[in-house]
């Protein structure tokens, strides 16, 4: 009976995640499609009035929304490939202090009203890793902290003789025990209520965990009442 209850519970959870994913994808796709449709109507109307400035404006809006749609499709296709061996991990020679600072600088531009800082005691460290995938992996953690975390965010880089460590810390501390267990599962999203402007597909953390593990590293989450700390540990493969 306990085994049957466990199976039924897991199937119910999977069904809820599937329905939530379908609902979220539908919403996320409808928004840019509706925006593009409105822009096209605007172009038709303003072309009759021969207003090239407004035509260019609406074309730019359409271009941006099409880029967003393409990004969503790429994310879904990328997730499908994560379960296979299709992703090749390269060994680029990367100086991790500069690498991390560049990621920090990018997100510092879009942090909004939040405080984002970077700290490290390191001056230079060269490591072999896949620069593209590790940038995405670390970027997912920073992006999530900006979207869902507290108002005070920090990116910390450190190392010992064997490993490189990245930490993304915020002063939120609102992830409960149940969500901590499942937060790296594919398509799982921590419930945030009906807040559509910050919803995603539940892919980012799954991507991060999968790609870091392909580097023989690990991802960890520690939560206290006033702090959420996502960390990446990557073994050194000295360049």
Contacts within 8 Å (CB) and 24+ apart, 179-187: 180/221, 180/223, 183/221, 184/208, 184/209, 184/219, 184/221, 185/17, 186/79, 186/82, 187/17, 187/18, 187/20, 187/21
For 156-213, how does the pLDDT look when each residue is reduced to its tens digit (9 = 90+)? 999 999 999 999 999 987 787 777 777 887 766 665 554 444 455 567 788 889 889 9
The C-alpha atoms of residue 196 and residue 183 are separated, in whole angstroms, by 19
- Contact predicate 196/181, CB 8 Å: no
What is the CB neighbour count within 10 angstroms for residue 176?
10
Expressed in angstroms, the distance from the first to the final Cα of the chain is 55
Residue given tokens 């975390």 in the structure block: 149
How is residue 217 annotated by DSSP?
-
Q: Which residue has the tokens 């207003």?
A: 51
Rounded distance between C-alpha atoms, residue 145 and residue 223, angstroms? 13
Eight-state DSSP code of residue 119: E
What are the tens digits of pLDDT across the range 41-69?
Answer: 877 776 666 777 878 888 888 888 787 77
3.30.360.10, 3.40.50.300, 1.25.40.10, 3.30.565.10: which CATH number matches 92-235? Answer: 3.30.565.10
Rg (CA), the chain: 21
Which ranges constitute the DSSP H helices of 49-175?
52-82, 96-108, 131-148
* % of the chain at pLDDT higher than 90: 33
Average pLDDT, the chain: 81
Question: Per-residue pLDDT tens for 68-79?
Answer: 777 667 666 666
* CA 204, 74, 63, 26 torsion-angle sign: negative
Q: Give the CATH architecture of domain 2-82.
A: Orthogonal Bundle (1.10)
Please state, in angstroms and rounded to a whole number, the distance separating the CA atoms of residues 28 and 20: 12
Task: Confirm if 235 and 217 have CB atoms less than 8 A apart.
Answer: yes
Domain ranges within the chain, ordered by starting residue: 2-82, 92-235
Other CB atoms within 10 A of residue 116 CB: 21
At 90-107, the pLDDT tens digits run 889 999 999 999 999 989
Tell me the three state secondary structure of residue 61.
helix
Name the H helices within the chain: 2-48, 52-82, 96-108, 131-148, 177-182, 204-214
């Amino acid at each position: 009976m306990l085994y049957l209850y466990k199976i039924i519970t897991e199937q119910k959870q999977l069904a809820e995640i599937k329905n939530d994913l379908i609902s979220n994808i539908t919403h996320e796709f409808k928004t840019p499609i509706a925006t593009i449709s409105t822009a096209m109507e605007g172009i038709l109307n303003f072309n009759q009035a021969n207003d090239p400035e407004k035509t260019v404006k609406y074309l730019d809006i359409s271009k941006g929304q099409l880029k967003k749609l393409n990004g969503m499709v790429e994310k879904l296709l990328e997730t499908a490939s994560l379960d296979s061996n299709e992703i090749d991990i390269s060994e680029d020679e990367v100086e991790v202090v500069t690498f991390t600072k560049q990621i920090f600088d990018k997100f510092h531009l879009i942090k909004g009203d939040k405080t984002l800082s970077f700290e490290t005691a390191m001056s230079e460290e060269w490591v072999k890793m896949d620069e593209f995938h590790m940038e995405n992996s670390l970027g997912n953690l920073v992006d999530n902290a900006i979207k869902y975390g507290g108002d005070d965010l920090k990116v910390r880089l450190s190392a010992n003789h064997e490993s490189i460590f990245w930490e993304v810390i915020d002063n939120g501390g609102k992830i409960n025990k149940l969500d901590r267990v499942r937060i790296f599962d594919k398509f799982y999203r921590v419930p945030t209520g009906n807040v559509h402007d910050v919803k995603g597909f539940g892919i980012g953390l799954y991507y991060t965990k999968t790609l870091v593990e392909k580097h023989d590293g690990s991802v960890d989450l520690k939560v206290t009442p006033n702090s959420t700390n996502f960390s990446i540990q990557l073994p050194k493969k000295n360049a």
